Chain A
Amino acid sequence: MDAKQAGIAVTIIGGYLGSGKTTLLNHLLQHADGARLAIMVNDFGDLAIDAALIESQQGDVINLSGGCVCCSYGDDLSLSLQKLVSQEIKPDHVIIEASGVALPGAIGRSLSLQRAYRLEGIVVVADASTVQANASEKYIGDTVSRQLYDADLLVLNKLDLLPTAEVESLKQWLAEQSRYASIIEAVHCSVPSSLLFNMSLVNVPDSWPDSWPDKRPDKRHDTRLAMPADSLVGIEPNNHDVSVYVSLSIKPSFAMNAHALAEQLAHKRLALIRAKGFVRDTNNQLKTIQVVGRRWSVTDAPEGAQPGMVCIAQKNDMTEHAIKALFSADAAISI
């Protein structure tokens, strides 16, 4: 998971038919927040493309105002990806919707063959009300299980359909199925887009606080991820706010082993949804660390980057002390 070059970041969204993948895509499209997204779908189907936003359509490609583009790749994803990268204006982030029966891990492996792209993470959407039944269904049970197994990050959707008492046992079961991928709890797939793609928009602040303020979990305001302290991010205005997210920003003061740090940040015990930032490696080179659930990558940092790290978790899962410990002087020596 080490790459010299940073290609265009790709997030694969998998999950069985009806789990809410398209809802998630629609949500992300509406909250692109200026990012030039390329959304690759098997078919346009239920994709809610606002007709007023369509600038042009050429066959399988729809260009939207604001720079987003939607492509229907049919049965030839690699060709569509190749065409996409040969275009003049390259997307900031590519989101591939795997078909309901596709194995997202296999798509990720073929992506590794196209150097223009870099797999950032595999997000698998699970319908809280049906995923367990689907995983034991006669025909598609093993497919659903293999999809969960491939996940770096799980979006546990339609939680409003599940009795509260059953949520914990479902999460436990999902954790085992997915080799302890981090879980985002959601209703109507309203997941803050910053959790999935636009962390690249984050401006890591110049000055960092000396102390870590207390969490302010109840204060819901539209704040950017890179708030120099724990803060709520991307709260969606809906009635089923089952979860909120907190971010933790850290400015590493020491050079450290970037690979070891990335691996630690992706460890299940931290339950991080995402982490991104720049650290000075032991050979004094600045590296970019990206974590999406279980998956991590280390690449050369872009010009002008400054050390800094942002970590996001669900409020209840945030393990602030464990994360901070990774950046302590002791840790810098030991890892």
Chain B
Amino acid sequence: MTTIYSARKIITMNPARPYVTHVAVHDGRILGAGSLKELEGFGTYSLDERFANKILMPGMVEGHSHAVEGKWWRYVYCGYHDRMDPHGKVWSGLTSIDEVIARLQEKDATLDNSTEALTGWAIDPIYYDNRKINRFDLDRVSTTRAIGVMHASGHIMNVNTKALELADYLRQGIEHDGVPLGDDGLPTGELKGPDVMFPVGQQAGFDDNMLEFDEPGLIDFARLCVRTGVTTATDLAAELNDDTVDMGNRITGADDFPVRIMSLRFHHGVTPEELITHTKALAKKSTDRFRLGKIKVIADGSIQGFSARLNWPGYYNGAPNGLWYIAPQQMLSIYEMALEAGIQVHTHTNGDEATDLVLDTLEAALKKHPCSHHRFTIQHGQMINAAQYRRMAKLNMCVNHFANHHFYWGDEHYRLTVGPERAERMNACRTALDNNIPMAIHSDAPVTPLSPLFTAWCAVNRLTHSGRTQGEHEKISIEEALYAITLGAAYTLNMDNEIGSIECGKQADFAVLEEDPTTVSAMALKDIKVWGTVQAGRVFAASNI
């Protein structure tokens, strides 16, 4: 059965015919894109005109997100910016600590049990003049239940007195950089770093595994995808044990599951040999909607957490250099074995020294196992400089930049972490494209909201939260940004042969929009309403997902 959809405009990403009016779909794939007359040549069809007033573009591809975002929405949203939840409710941003407290109090009032934990997320004190939040603030919500609120960055957590008490942190004599103490010698309730947060987080209702998706969370994540026009999304770092894989296959295999999830095996906790063996086994379990068989390596930490590895002269504020999350020899072993086995590796780097290590290591591995189509990708690569892009081009590497970061933390980078000069060239999309590096841009959801059109807006405008344009020369055009969130991202996932554009033979994946992103102003890009998606020919309206 062939269906031909008509639309106000179809943006194809196929340069031979960039804009058409009709697309024919058969068995979940695209028979062709063109005029109705052209498509009639494929034979009998039914004409579906429900999108006659909509804009279709290729289903968007989120190349760096974490499906755990779905789980986080079960906690109370405490962010500064408005944000839409999986059910389409837009939670208003909280502009003061008092508002944060009020929202938590609202939740508190709905809980029957006076000892049940209360959990929140996405708070960010940089928007409250960096006024530190302490346990006494949260004690205003409750002194009988443990309360924990994770910061937007994921690096810091605030808890109340009860949570400290339950975790046995409410005592004198704690000496730890991650646990600031008040004048009373007791922890203030601010906890920095995962090893410090975890024992208290557990008391405050956070899951054992703060990074891995669960069953209802995966379904909610898929809802967010539909609402933002995403038809393929990555879950970029997972342990992927047998239970998780079975669950993932079961959930994504449901007839009405609306998105293709690509989940990458995280390098931690196993040897390079075990990593390769496991990844090969995972590839065999891959299905159309649950793609497995790639590796994610983490080279360093984060810039705002001062754990990224920077080249000389290091951090602007003089903080000591960050941490390696993998030994160079291990990275080399993984790269060599992955190249030999034909496994693609995505490597997280934030600092420029970490990027240097990746380039040196890949260059060495390629000498052993020459390969021109490996598509090894640097994820984030926030500080990549021009010389590094030139090397990346020679090494046939791809990049996926963290464009959203610029908006949320660009001012911090300018003022504190790397200083003005380097902040202006962070996530240097223009230079990447000028060096012909295949490029995607991403949200790293739940760190920032999943919404490729917003990510495109960030890369096009390079505005920081305070309203400054940071790095005028690194802006890209709307067309380039739209390419980055479709074919660009598809290329970094080695899926550009099946998704990323609307043309004959590809998956029938469309984002259905109310407005035309190629004609709106650059500033309006993020405000375009998404009607829903078509994924492998199945129609999903955001209004009833």
**Measured between C-beta atoms, what is the minimum distance from B409 to chain A in Å?**
23
The answer to whether A132 has its CB under 8 Å from any CB of chain B is no
Is A139 in contact with B271, judged by CB distance below 8 angstroms? no
Q: Is the pair B168, A110 in contact by a Cβ cutoff of 8 Å?
A: no
Stretch at the interface among A68-76, A222-230, A318-326: A68-76
Does B325 lie at the interface of the complex (its beta carbon under 8 Å from any beta carbon of A)?
yes
The reply to whether A77 and B195 contact each other, CB–CB distance below 8 Å, is yes
B179 within 8 A of A: yes
When the two chains form their complex, are residues B321 and A142 in contact, meaning their CB atoms are under 8 A apart?
yes
Q: Are A101 and B325 in contact (CB under 8 A)?
A: yes
**B324 x A45 contact (CB < 8 A):** no
B196 & A110 in contact (Cβ 8 Å cutoff): yes
Scan A125-139; emit 1 where CB is below 8 A from any B CB, else 0. 000000000000001
Closest to A46 in B: B271
Considering only CB atoms and an 8 Å cut-off, how many residues of chain A contact the other chain?
Answer: 34
Chain B, 163-208, CB within 8 A of any chain A CB = 168-169, 171, 174-179, 193-196, 198-199, 202, 208
User: Is the beta-carbon distance between B329 and A18 smaller than 8 angstroms?
Assistant: yes
Residues of B within 8 A of A (CB): 168-169, 171, 174-179, 193-196, 198-199, 202, 208-209, 239, 241, 266, 268-271, 274, 309, 321, 323-330, 353, 356-357
Docked pose: A72 CA to B269 CA in angstroms? 7
Asked if A100 contacts B195 (CB within 8 A), the reply is: no
| A-B CB contact pairs (8 Å), 8 listed | A17-B330, A42-B268, A43-B271, A43-B274, A101-B324, A107-B195, A112-B175, A113-B179
Seen from chain A, the residues whose Cβ lies within 8 Å of a Cβ on chain B are: 16-18, 42-46, 59, 72-79, 82, 99-101, 103, 106-107, 109-110, 112-115, 139-140, 142-143
CB of A140 within 8 A of CB of B328, answer yes
Docked Cα-Cα span, A143 to B323, in Å, equals: 8
Name the distance in Å between A94's Cβ and chain B's nearest Cβ: 15
Task: Assess whether B198 is in contact with A76, with CB atoms less than 8 Å apart.
Answer: yes
Q: Which residues of A contact B328 (CB under 8 A)?
A: 139-140
Residue on B nearest A16 in the bound complex, by CB: B327
In contact, B198 and A100 (Cβ under 8 angstroms): no
For A114, what are the chain B residues with a Cβ–Cβ distance below 8 Å?
168, 199
* List of 4 A-B pairs having minimum Cβ-Cβ separation, nearest first: A74-B269, A110-B195, A101-B324, A45-B271
Bound Cα distance from A17 to B330, whole angstroms: 9
Assess A112 versus B174: contact at CB under 8 Å? Given A74-B269, A139-B353: yes
Q: Which residue of A lies closest to B354 (CB)?
A: A139
Residues of B within 8 A of A42 (CB): 268-269
Residues of B within 8 A of A113 (CB): 169, 174, 176, 179, 195-196, 199
Residues of A with C-beta under 8 A to B168: 114-115
Q: Which of B177, B198, B269, B323 contacts A43 (CB 8 A)?
A: B269
Collect the chain A residues with CB atoms within 8 Å of residue B271's CB.
43-46
**Smallest distance from the beta carbon of A73 to chain B beta carbons, Å?**
8
- Interface centre among B208, B327, B357, by most A CB within 10 Å? B327
Contact indicator A17/B327 (Cβ below 8 Å)? yes
Contact B269 A79 (CB under 8 A): no
> Which residue of the partner chain A has the closest CB to B353?
A139
SS of B interface (majority):
loop
Name the residue on B nearest A42 (C-beta).
B269
Q: Which residue of A lies closest to B269 (CB)?
A: A74
Structural contact, B176 and A109, CB atoms closer than 8 A: yes
> In the assembly, what is the distance between CA of A72 and CA of B239, in Å?
13
Excluding A44-B271, A45-B270, A113-B195, 20 further A-B contacts by CB distance (< 8 Å) are A17-B327, A43-B270, A59-B241, A74-B239, A75-B266, A75-B268, A76-B198, A78-B195, A78-B199, A79-B198, A79-B208, A101-B325, A101-B326, A107-B195, A109-B175, A110-B196, A114-B168, A139-B328, A140-B327, A143-B324
Residues of A within 8 A of B239 (CB): 74
A103 to B323, CA, bound (A): 9
Return the contact of A100 from the options B177, B266, B330 (Cβ within 8 A): B330
For B324, what are the chain A residues with a Cβ–Cβ distance below 8 Å?
A: 101, 139-140, 143
User: Is B327 a contact of A101 with CB atoms below 8 Å?
Assistant: yes
Expressed in whole angstroms, the Cα–Cα distance for A2 and B266 within the complex equals: 40
Closest Cβ of chain A: how far from B200's Cβ, in Å?
A: 9
Smallest Cβ distance from B306 to chain A, in angstroms? 13
Q: Which residues of B lie under 8 Å from residue A143 when comparing CB positions?
A: 323-324
Query: Which B residues are CB-close (under 8 A) to A142?
Result: 321
Q: Are A78 and B177 in contact (CB under 8 A)?
A: no
Which residue of chain B has its CB nearest to the CB of A77?
Answer: B195
- Flag if A101 contacts B323 (CB, 8 Å): yes
Within 8 Å CB of B266, what residues of A?
A: 75
Name the CB-closest residue of A to B191. A113
Q: Within the complex, which residue of B179, B198, B269, B309 is in contact with A78, where a contact is CB–CB below 8 Å?
A: B198
* Nearest opposing residue in chain A for B197, CB measure: A78
A74 touches B177 (CB 8 A): no
Please tell me if the beta carbons of B176 and A110 are within 8 angstroms of each other in the complex.
Answer: yes
* Known contacts A101-B324, A113-B169; A17 and B269 CB within 8 A of each other: no
Q: How far is the CB of B113 from chain A (nearest CB, A)?
A: 23
Closest-CB distance, B176 to chain A (whole angstroms): 5
**Contact check: which of A46, A75, A110, A140 meets B269 at CB < 8 Å?**
A75
**Shortest distance in angstroms between A258's beta carbon and chain B's nearest beta carbon?**
17
Residue from A18, A78, A107 having most chain B Cβ neighbours under 10 A:
A78
* Complex interface: chain A residues within 8 A of B329 (CB): 17-18
Distance from A129 Cβ to chain B, minimum over Cβ atoms (Å)? 15
B179: which A residues are within 8 A, CB to CB?
Answer: 113
Contact B199 A74 (CB under 8 A): no
Contacts of A115 in B (CB 8 A): 168, 171
Q: Which of B177, B198, B199, B327 is the one whose CB lies under 8 Å from A109?
A: B177
Question: How far apart sit A75 and B269, CA to CA, in the bound complex (Å)?
Answer: 6
CA distance A44 to B325 in the complex (A): 18
| Closest beta carbon of chain A to B322's beta carbon, Å | 10
B323 contacts A139, CB within 8 Å? no
8 Å CB contact of B176 from A59, A76, A103, A112: A112
CA distance A76 to B196 in the complex (A): 11
CA distance A140 to B193 in the complex (A): 22
For the complex, give the distance between the alpha carbons of A74 and B208 in Å.
Answer: 13
Indicate if the CB atoms of B175 and A100 lie closer than 8 Å: no
Contacts of B199 in A (CB 8 A): 78, 82, 113-114
| Cα separation A149 to B525 with both chains bound (whole Å) | 52
- CA distance in complex: A73, B208 (Å): 13
B210 to chain A, nearest CB (A): 9
Name A72's closest neighbour in chain B (CB-CB).
Answer: B269
Q: How far is the CA of A16 from the CA of B208 in the complex (A)?
A: 29
Contact partners of B330 in chain A: CB under 8 A: 17, 100
A7 to chain B, nearest CB (A): 11
A320 to B202 alpha-carbon distance, docked (Å):
50
